[in-house]
Amino acid sequence: MNGERILLGDIARKLGGAVVGDSAAEVTRPASPTGARAGDICAVWEVRDFEKIRVGVHVLASPDAFASRPELTGISVDDPRAAFPALLSLFQPVRKGRGVHPSAVISPLAALSPDAWIGPLCVVEDGAVIGEGVRLRANVFVGEGCVLGAGTVVEPGAVLLEKVRTGQNCLIHGGAVLGSDGFGILPAGEVSGPVKIPQLGGVVLGDEVEIGACTTVDRGTLDDTVVGDFTKVDDHVHIAHNTVIGKNCIVVAMTGIAGSAVLEDNVIMAARSGVKDHTRIGRGATVAANAGAIKDVPPGAVVSGFPARDHRENFRVQAAQQRLPELLLRVRKLEQAVFPSDEKLPDRKQGGEGH
């Protein structure tokens, strides 16, 4: 629908909603409640946001919201928050085009779909397969033996080294590096320095996987590093060699996943969290921000802290730590009551509290 007149009725049909008002009203753009102007449309599910809606602004809201506010116009859906991404997608720019830019360097041994677009300064090496509708926007490197599934988009500056294979409709953001050597090192011996272990595996992405900007995914030593279908990885994440990540996972910025770790389906790794090597995070578990999982996490658990433990237990530990100054003062008073001033107090370490 991008680039065309978008009518309220058209949006309602796409979202499976019902029009409240004039179905022929033209919608200019989606907007936030605070910045919307007449003709815009806002997705609203918080009660306080309805007060910010100006006259002439359409809303994507629940039937209850329209029933309680008869002055509103827009589209009624059961769950406006769930419909919000689909609304935005109707206004997302659609990039068209096929072929190869004159500045791109393509190996004669690569296989390119005629529907793909290879942008300026891209490099595609021997044996690479570029599927139908793939877009390499600009300055993208695709190494030997890579296979990019239909509809995959690779943003400018991304690097896909050898043996990177993606499913359909993946999105790889700028600056991401997939398929670089895993960090396999034998420590230095008495007479030799550290020894690098060759990394012979690859990287496999499922369908509709998203890899954020400046994220790195290392190839495996023998087996592949795997990221499952529909998993979304944020910017500045490191996924080490031999890691296996399941379906529908969310990995937030600055997370580090060490070698041979396993994340089962539907795991959430919050910002700046980490997983030790050879550790398994169970299905549906959440590792909270700044947490470090150094042992297996059960399915469905929520863990926080370092080392990561049950979230409620960690809160109790933190609460107790906040009371340490008060508790130390109480201990000092008890010592003074038990030991008169002419008796020697029990020895304390130099520099300790109360010394």
pLDDT tens for the chain, 355 residues: list them: 555 679 999 999 999 999 999 999 999 999 999 989 999 999 999 988 998 999 999 999 999 999 988 899 999 999 999 999 999 999 988 777 899 999 999 999 999 999 999 999 999 999 999 999 999 999 999 999 999 999 999 999 999 999 999 999 999 999 999 999 999 999 998 888 999 999 999 999 999 999 999 999 999 999 999 999 999 999 999 999 999 999 999 999 999 999 999 999 999 999 999 999 999 999 999 999 999 999 999 999 999 988 887 767 776 777 777 888 888 888 888 888 887 665 665 665 555 554 4
- What is the pLDDT, as a whole number, of residue 355? 45
Cα–Cα dist 75/58, whole Å: 8
- What is the pLDDT, as a whole number, of residue 38? 93
Cα–Cα dist 293/307, whole Å: 6
- What is the pLDDT, as a whole number, of residue 4? 67
Output the six-digit token pair for 111. 């296989």
Q: How many CA atoms lie within 13 A of 152 on its CB side?
A: 31
- What is the pLDDT, as a whole number, of residue 326? 84
Alpha carbon distances (Å) from 253 to 128, 135, 166, 233, 237: 30, 25, 21, 8, 6
Alpha carbon distances (Å) from 331 to 301, 328, 341: 36, 5, 16
Alpha carbon distances (Å) from 297 to 50, 70, 244, 292, 303: 41, 50, 15, 11, 8
Sequence-distant (≥ 6) Cβ neighbours of residue 119 within 8 angstroms: 101, 104, 135, 136, 137, 138, 139, 140, 156
Sequence-distant (≥ 6) Cβ neighbours of residue 249 within 8 angstroms: 228, 231, 232, 263, 265, 266, 267, 268, 269
Top CATH class, 8-89: alpha beta
* Residue pair 288/302 in contact by the 8 Å Cβ criterion: yes
Instruction: Kindly list the catalytic residues.
Output: 241
Q: Identify the sign of the CA torsion 54, 28, 45, 302.
A: negative
- What is the pLDDT, as a whole number, of residue 245? 98
- What is the pLDDT, as a whole number, of residue 137? 96
Question: Would you report the helix, strand and coil content of the chain in percent, each value rounded to 5?
Answer: 15, 25, 60
For the chain, give every domain's residue range.
Answer: 8-89, 328-355
Cα–Cα dist 165/204, whole Å: 5
